[in-house]
Amino acid sequence: MKTIIADMTHGIDEGMMKKAGQILLDGGLVAFPTETVYGLGGNALDAEASRKIYAAKGRPSDNPLIVHIADFDALRDIVKEVPQAAKDLADAFWPGPMTMILNKNDRVPMSTTGGLSTVAVRFPDNEIADAMILAGGGYIAAPSANTSGRPSPTTAKHVQDDLDGRIDMIIDGGPVGIGVESTIVDLTEDIPMVLRPGYINMDMLRGVLGEVRMDPGLHSADPNFHPKAPGMKYRHYAPKAPLTIVEGPADKVVAKIEELAAEKEAAGEKVGIIATDESAALYRHGTVKSIGSRAEEITISMHLYGILRDFDDRKVSVIYSEAFDTPKLGQAIMNRLIKAAGHQVIKV
């Protein structure tokens, strides 16, 4: 299959957008930008289109897809009921990087929800995404547009690296703004529960909902204690080289990573180091990349997946990363990084 690349970095190309809509209505797949990461879209109400998404990504079929809408009223037609909490969350955070889980109705096929009776729904804050969702029928199932297990794509080039020739079209809307996936809030629990941390943090959610819990299965290193979101149990976001996080006071972290990097280089290994603007110049060993500035935490989330991919391309054999205790986005970033590291964390 020849994948069409539609350049919309300077605005929506109406002709190409119409084509994208037709591909989706015909059951095909289109990758598109959102404010979080690039998504791989297919018609959410078409069981066959959902199966194609799983096949293109090599995604396990028990890992449900998020349904993207571009109009709040569309929600009513795919769920059993819209509780007050859902209306309040939508008022506060839609369009935006927040996904809610509700009980689905029969219009949503089981292949879209991985066999679950609940459905995850989001209204993205990106004009290309919203135009495409409407052109494609209003309900677009879209996981991140990467091969399963690789870091999520934050540019159209990342999507092309993974899926060229496997999908019908890639819409290039330039680099994304947030860089980590949406916050997932489960409203089918007695107390709303966060199944995946993201840009919309616990304090923001509590401001709207009152009591909110974090899924206790999320931060467990015990393989028998599963998180509720099926996708969070997989070792996602993994770079090819083993990654270790070093956590502690800034000066001790740099000293420890230097020591480890020197040892590994002496043993003939190629070392990659994930540092920040504040610390990058302090390292003497390894290939050092700054992820962004601790003073501006969104720069860290924006660059996280790109750096992991870059180290894959450079074929480093081992990676060390500083920990990022960013107050607002900290849980979202560290959740992804700890998973990428397979829970290998050294405390100094």
Which residues inside 98-157 make contact with ligand AMP, applying CB under 6 A? 101, 113, 116, 118-120, 143-144
Beta carbon of residue 134, minimum distance to ligand AMP (angstroms, whole number): 20
Complex with ligand AMP: residue 68 or 289, whichever CB lies closer: 68
Burial of 39 from C-beta contacts in 10 A (0-12 / 13-18 / 19+): buried
Instruction: Tell me the window of 23-31, 59-67, 82-90, 137-145 that interacts with Mg ion (CB under 5 A).
Output: 137-145
Round to whole Å and give the CA distance between 284 and 261: 9
Query: Under the criterion CB under 5 A, does residue 144 sit at the interface with Mg ion?
Result: yes
Which residues inside 232-251 make contact with ligand AMP, applying CB under 6 A? 232
Round to whole Å and give the CA distance between 249 and 251: 6
Round to whole Å and give the CA distance between 319 and 238: 11
Binding letters toward ligand AMP, positions 19-58, x by CB under 6 A: ----------------------------------------
CB 299 within 8 A of CB 275: no
Complex with ligand AMP: residue 112 or 279, whichever CB lies closer: 112
Ramachandran sector of residue 149 (left: φ over 0; alpha: ψ -120 to 50; beta: rest): left
Of 24, 184, 243, 304, which lies in the binding site for ligand AMP, with binding defined by CB under 6 A? 184
DSSP structure class, residue 65 = P
Dihedral over alpha carbons 113, 114, 115, 116 (to 10 degrees): -50
By a kind-dependent CB cut-off of 5 to 8 A, residue 36 interacts, out of ligand AMP, Mg ion, none, with none
CB 89 within 8 A of CB 208: yes
Contact residues for ligand AMP, defined by CB under 6 A: 63-64, 66, 101, 113, 116, 118-120, 143-144, 181, 184, 195-196, 228-232
Contact residues for Mg ion, defined by CB under 5 A: 144
